[in-house]
């Protein structure tokens, strides 16, 4: 059964005047999109009309923001944003924390990572930030050991000990839930897990903790960070109504980070 935070938010927007400012906010499908529906309701009260633009991958929302196709996005954690800026030279910046989605490891064949057979294949996201996060989670679970000098962004090449000769398979994050039948296990970001009908609290065999450094953020173009609508967007996201929606409907698959 899918979590309620995936259900379409039923809310009546307060009427806004013709002078209401309109912005486009990019999100990925699943919880980010559903939470933004509540943010939209709260923003309308302050005269800010949010048009939600949904994306199906982790790369295009930042590219669209850098091009000016959208005004803000809400889908990524700070380490991922830092990597995108470093790799692509985007002039974009985080303006506020939003939620933290614990990454989970899922399997259809084992109930514990200790039960993984020798040579088992484990899928991880193929982007550097989320792939590194997955490897750190596997290290915390005792599956592998990593070169500590690589910090928060290790790659499979940085595995120094692999007693079960686990094969790491890098796959596009969106595809990982669909590949579970072919893999012994997979590290899946919570938004994609929930969209696929997986409940982290029930189905994950391991998750990273709420003290993780991977809090998600709202992001805008650098030139827009001091615009009045940015303050309204932050206030709407950090409202009591949004916190209540997350706490009530997401069953700790999403945790407020503000």
Cα gap 232→223, rounded to integer Å = 16
Cα gap 105→116, rounded to integer Å = 12
pLDDT of residue 184: 98
Query: What digits encode the pLDDT tens for the residues 1-24?
Result: 455 665 545 444 444 444 689 999
Q: Is 170 helix (H, G, I), strand (E, B) or coil?
A: strand
Query: What digits encode the pLDDT tens for the residues 91-105?
Result: 999 999 999 888 999
Cβ atoms < 10 Å from Cβ of 35: 25
Where along the chain do its domains lie? Answer: 4-101+214-256, 104-207
Characterise 52 by phi-psi region: left (phi > 0), alpha (psi -120 to 50), beta (else): beta
Q: Does the domain at residues 4-101+214-256 carry the CATH identifier 3.40.50.2000?
A: no
Query: What digits encode the pLDDT tens for the residues 119-160?
Result: 999 999 999 889 999 999 999 999 999 999 998 889 999 999
State in Å, rounded, how far the first CA of the chain is from the last one.
28
CATH topology for the 104-207 domain? D-Maltodextrin-Binding Protein; domain 2 (3.40.190)
Compute the half-sphere exposure of residue 19: CA atoms within 13 Å on the CB side of its CA: 1
On the question of a common fold for 4-101+214-256 and 104-207, the answer reads: yes
Using the Cα atoms of residue 45, residue 51, residue 223 and residue 60 in order, give the sign of their dihedral: positive
């Amino acid at each position: 059964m899918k979590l309620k935070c995936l259900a379409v938010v039923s809310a009546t927007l307060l009427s806004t005047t013709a002078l209401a400012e309109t912005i486009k906010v990019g999100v990925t499908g699943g919880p980010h999109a559903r939470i933004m529906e509540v943010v939209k309701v709260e923003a309308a009260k302050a005269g800010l009309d949010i048009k939600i633009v949904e994306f199906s991958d982790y790369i295009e929302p930042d590219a669209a923001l850098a091009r000016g196709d959208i005004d803000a996005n809400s889908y990524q954690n700070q380490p991922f944003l830092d990597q995108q800026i470093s790799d692509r030279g985007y002039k974009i910046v985080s303006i506020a924390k939003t939620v933290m989605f614990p990454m989970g490891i899922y399997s259809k064949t084992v109930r514990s990572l200790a039960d993984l057979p020798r040579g088992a294949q484990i899928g991880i996201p193929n982007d550097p930030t989320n792939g590194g996060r997955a490897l750190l989670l596997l290290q915390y679970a005792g599956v592998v050991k990593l070169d500590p000098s690589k910090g928060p962004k290790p790659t499979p090449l940085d595995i120094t000990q692999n007693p079960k000769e686990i094969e790491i398979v890098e796959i596009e994050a969106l595809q990982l839930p669909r590949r579970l039948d072919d893999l012994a296990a997979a590290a899946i970001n919570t938004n994609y897990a929930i969209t696929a009908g997986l409940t982290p609290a029930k189905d994950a065999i391991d998750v990273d903790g709420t003290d993780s450094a991977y809090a998600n953020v709202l992001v805008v173009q650098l030139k827009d960070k001091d615009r009045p609508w940015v303050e309204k967007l932050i206030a709407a996201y950090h409202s009591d109504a949004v916190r209540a929606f997350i706490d009530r409907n997401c069953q700790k698959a999403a945790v407020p980070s503000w």
